[in-house]
Amino acid sequence: MTTVERAGTASAAVGTPVLEVHDLSVSFTTEGGTVSAVDRVSLDLASGEIVGMVGESGCGKSVTAMSIAGLLPDSARVSGSVRLEGTELVGARESVLRRVRGKEIAYIFQEPMTSLNPVLTVGRQIGEVLQVHERMSKRAARARAVELLSLVGIPSAGKRVDNYPHQLSGGMRQRVMIAMAVACGPKVLVADEPTTALDVTVQAGILQVLRDLRDRLGTTILIITHDLGVIADIADRVVVMYAGRVVERAPVTDLFAHPYHRYTAGLLAASPTPGKHAGTERLQEIPGLVPVLSTQPDACTFADRCPAADEQCLDSAPALQLVRTGSAVPVTGHLAACWHPCPSPRTQPQETTA
């Protein structure tokens, strides 16, 4: 069968590593028991690259993203390491984290209407970040806010700066969020489902703004989404998550060309592709539901939904490793955590009945 080789920790980096996440685990204590949301996730962001994190709802991608800057509620237990250019963030003092938030690591969220304060003008909200981190005066902050609004493509920025969020359209609000996020020139921008709440036509514009920011300012972007189309559009590398673990990691073209993990294959097969299913083939679902785990077992958590699962999958958890299929040369930087990765460039998993 396929042989698997251990990979080094360094993946193919575009630039110097800006954010290094190593063995990050997050669990929550709730009234119903403990919930393990993230299990030993490792990933690196290199300067200027756009990494996409993809997975279904509940796979832990948002939790991972929020834990980077310590934005989780008190009920969260975080272990592992998150280093921003060498500085350890896990367990750091709140005052240290506050200096990082907004200035080195910035966020944009899914729902721009509720994520902006309705009683403050957008100019004021953008200016806040500048006043806190760059110690700008109110007047200077407002002027810079106007510049930022133009930067993200909002017309009549001079007038818009005094608008309230409810006076702007959804797409414009999201651009405001982006302007607010990049105001202090952060090294990392974490975008949690930035386009999910927007119309398809508006989505493209937002993604373009993000791409521009990377090209012009060199911002590293971690984009979280469940939409494979967004990944294909904008990401350089992709990280696939399932039930709190990273199951596959690859450059974007490789992932789409030949996914190795059965879950990734299932995801791709379940996405409608124009022309492919024209009236003949059914979309293939992955049977079953994403589990909510109390503790992470030493087994593959996808096994109960996987068409290729066997005893080995239930016995021990597969490590995230370079995949070697037959005599093919392993693609640098393409890792999967699977005992039985898909054998070839084909993306069709075995058909299963629910």
Partner 1 sequence: MTVLTVPMAEAGPAGTSRRTRVLRRLRRNPLAVVSFVVLALAAVVALLSPWIAPHEVQQTDFAHTFSPPGTPGHLLGTDDLGRDVLSRIMLGARASLQVALLAVATSLIIGVPLGLAAGYFRAWDAVISRFTDLLLAFPFLIMAVGLAAIRGASLTNAAVAIGIAQIPGVIRVVRSDTLRLKSLDFVAAAVVDGASDPWVLARHILPNATSVILVQATVAIPTAILAEAVLSFLGLGIQPPSPSLGTMLATAQQFAARAPWAAVLPGVVIMGLALAFNVFGDALRDALDPKGDR
Partner 2 sequence: MARYLITRAWHSALTLLLSTIVVFLGVRALPGDPALALAGEDRSPEALEAIRHHYGLDQPLPIQFAQYVERLVQGDFGVSIRTGIPVSSMLTTAVPVTVELSLLAILLAAALGVGAGVLAAVRRGRPAEWLANGLALVGLSVPHFWLGLLAILYLSVAAGLFPASGFVPLLEDPVGNLHHIILPTVILGAGLAAIIMRQTRSAMLEALSSDHVRTAKAKGLRPRAVITRHALRNSLIVVVTIVGLQLGGLISGAVVTEQIFGLPGFGKMTIDAVFQRDYPVIQAVVLLTATAYIVINFLVDLLYSVIDPRIRVTGDPT
* Contact residues: partner 2, CB under 8 A: 69, 71, 97-103, 106-107, 109, 111, 114-121, 128-129, 132-133, 164, 166-167, 177, 180
Q: Are strands 87-88 and 105-108 parallel, antiparallel or unpaired?
A: unpaired
What is the separation, in whole angstroms, between the first and last Cα of the chain? 27
Among 299, 319, 321, 333, binds partner 1 (CB under 8 A): 299
- Token duo for residue 155: 């017309």
Name which of 164 and 256 has its Cβ closer to partner 2: 164
d(CA 144, CA 147): 5
Phi/psi of residue 169, each to 5°?
A: -80, 165
Residue 217 contact partner, candidates partner 2, partner 1, none, CB within 5 to 8 A by sort of partner: none
Per-residue HEC secondary structure of 133-189 comes to HCCCCHHHHHHHHHHHHHHCCCCCHHHHCCCCHHHCCHHHHHHHHHHHHHCCCCCEE
Count of CB atoms situated within 10 Å of the CB of 214: 17
308 binds partner 1 (CB under 8 A): no
Q: How far is the CB of 166 from partner 2 (least distance, A)?
A: 5
Q: Which is nearer to partner 2, 122 or 293 (CB)?
A: 122
Residue with token string 């202090």: 184
Q: Nearest distance from residue 277's CB to partner 1, in Å?
A: 30
Q: What distance in Å separates the CA atoms of residue 52 and residue 205, rounded to the nearest whole number?
A: 18
Q: Is 270 helix (H, G, I), strand (E, B) or coil?
A: helix
Smallest gap, in angstroms, from Cβ of residue 338 to partner 1?
Answer: 17
Q: Note whether 227 and 196 are within 8 A (CB).
A: yes
Question: Which one of residues 295, 312, 344, 348 is an interface residue with partner 1 (CB under 8 A)?
Answer: 295
C-alpha to C-alpha distance for 263 and 286, rounded to whole angstroms: 8
Cβ 345 to partner 1 shortest distance, Å: 31
| Region binding partner 1 by CB under 8 A among candidate stretches 190-198, 258-266, 275-283, 299-307 | 299-307
Quick one: CA torsion of 250, 254, 256, 262, rounded to 10 degrees?
-60
Mask 23-62, x = binds partner 1 (CB under 8 A)?
-------xxxxxx---------------------------
Q: Which is nearer to partner 2, 161 or 247 (CB)?
A: 161
Which range, of 43-51, 264-272, 285-293, 346-354, touches partner 1 by CB under 8 A? 285-293
Interface positions, 232-261, toward partner 1 (CB under 8 A): none
304 binds, among partner 2, partner 1, none (CB under 5 to 8 A by kind): partner 1
The residues binding partner 1 (CB under 8 A) are 30-35, 291-295, 297, 299, 301, 303-304, 314
